[in-house]
Amino acid sequence: MTEDDVRAHLDALAKPRRSLGRLEDIAVSLALTQQRLDPRTRPRRIVLFAGDHGCVADGVSAWPSAVTGMMVATILAGRATSSALAAAHGCDLRLVDVGVASARPVAPPPFFRDARVADGTVSLAHDAAMTAAQFDAAWRVGVEEAQAAVADGAALLIAGEMGIGNTTPAAALTTLLTGLSPVEAVGAGAGADAAIVVTKACVVTAAVARATPLLGHDDRAAIASVAGYEIAAMAGFFAEGAARGATLLLDGYVATAAALVAAHLAPGSERAMIAGHLSVEPGHGAALAQLGLTPMLDWGMRLGEGSGALVALPLVDAAAALLADVARLDAIGAERAD
């Protein structure tokens, strides 16, 4: 099925041609991701992957790593932004620890999975963040989560993340895979001041300088050296979700860095993706452009946790309803005049 097929279907409905503007573009994307004119957005699932980052000790974030564990506890208590938005929009939520450094939660609810590969990454400021084997282990966790979601009937998947410091590996991956410079790829993340942003740019420059020579002959090792566990898991989740015919609704800069990894290691995965929003992070637009995606919303958001995708979700539902429920113009007895 091509874009022309979906446009022809939309143009046959009881409305002037293209009268729903961007909503019709989303309907086209949705139909193409599932290769059907009646794509589904329900059931849907968000999987939040959590991990910590050794580079926080090098001063790349305004926040200490302990906040990752605190937010894991908050998500488990159903009180995070992602909890509220997922509940508001009827989205099933899971939380997976792939690399948190804090103590494990006591008596967690069934929507939590302990799949910790390590207690946080090694700082990419000094060395490889993880080995290729550790990258594969985290990727595999994401693959299993996508398989489980699809087996449970999910047609639309969101990956979200929680990891203090993760906009630094996201910037390094964006630099490595798009050719953006480190200075263009770094931003304020969760609230870094100008001095922290300079530190981030230096850390990303050093990490990418170590990773670049590996690219081309050992891509997994290159990517692993600047990745995070939650990013590796999201990449596996995207690659497997795409392979199984699900629609992938992308969140912000960190999720998109994982999408770049999926598109690099599992080419074609990007055809399953719709971009929920444009993050405030300055490198996000270039990362989305590399994937051939146009973001739905530009609302000044920069939270992560899947929040941008969850906010865009009702608009994706609207696009699906358009395809499924609107009568054809010929069925109401009218002739097209435009």
Ligand X SMILES: Cc1cc2nc[nH]c2cc1C
Task: Choose, by CB under 6 A, the member of 28, 56, 71, 288 that binds ligand X.
Answer: 71
Q: Where are the alpha helices (DSSP H) in 56-179?
A: 66-76, 81-88, 132-151, 167-178
- Pick one of ligand X, ligand NCN, none as the site partner of residue 189 (Cβ within 5 to 8 A by kind): ligand NCN
Sketch the per residue contact string, 89 through 128, with ligand X: x for CB under 6 A, - otherwise: ----------------------------------------
Which range in 42-50, 284-292, 302-310, 312-320 contacts ligand X by CB under 6 A?
A: 302-310
| Shortest Å, Cβ 176 to ligand NCN | 17
Catalytic residue among 24, 240, 270, 305: 305
Neighbours of 40 (CB within 10 A): 17
Q: Which of residues 95-154 bind ligand NCN (CB under 6 A)?
A: none
State yes or no: is 305 an active-site residue: yes
Q: Binding to ligand NCN by residue 61, rule CB under 6 A?
A: yes
| Shortest Å, Cβ 313 to ligand NCN | 16
Q: Binding to ligand NCN by residue 180, rule CB under 6 A?
A: no
| CB of 158 closer than 8 Å to CB of 44 | yes
Q: Which of residues 148-177 bind ligand X (CB under 6 A)?
A: 162
Q: Binding to ligand X by residue 190, rule CB under 6 A?
A: yes
Give the number of C-alpha atoms closer than 13 A to the C-alpha of residue 8, restricted to the C-beta side: 5
| Shortest Å, Cβ 14 to ligand X | 43
Neighbours of 288 (CB within 10 A): 24
Which range in 17-25, 175-183, 193-201, 301-309 contacts ligand X by CB under 6 A?
A: 301-309
Residue 210 buriedness (CB in 10 A; 0-12 / 13-18 / 19+): middle
| CB of 329 closer than 8 Å to CB of 13 | yes
293 to each of 20, 273, 290, 299, how far by Cα in Å? 19, 8, 8, 17
Q: Which is nearer to ligand X, 63 or 299 (CB)?
A: 63
List Cβ neighbours of 211 (8 Å cut-off, separation of 6 or more).
Answer: 172, 176, 222, 223, 225, 226
In the block, tokens 């069934």 appear at: 110
Q: Binding to ligand X by residue 240, rule CB under 6 A?
A: no
Q: Binding to ligand NCN by residue 199, rule CB under 6 A?
A: no
List Cβ neighbours of 322 (8 Å cut-off, separation of 6 or more).
Answer: 10, 13, 20, 23, 24, 27
Active site residues: 305
Positions in the binding site for ligand NCN (CB under 6 A): 61, 63, 161-168, 189-190, 192, 251-255, 279, 281, 302-305
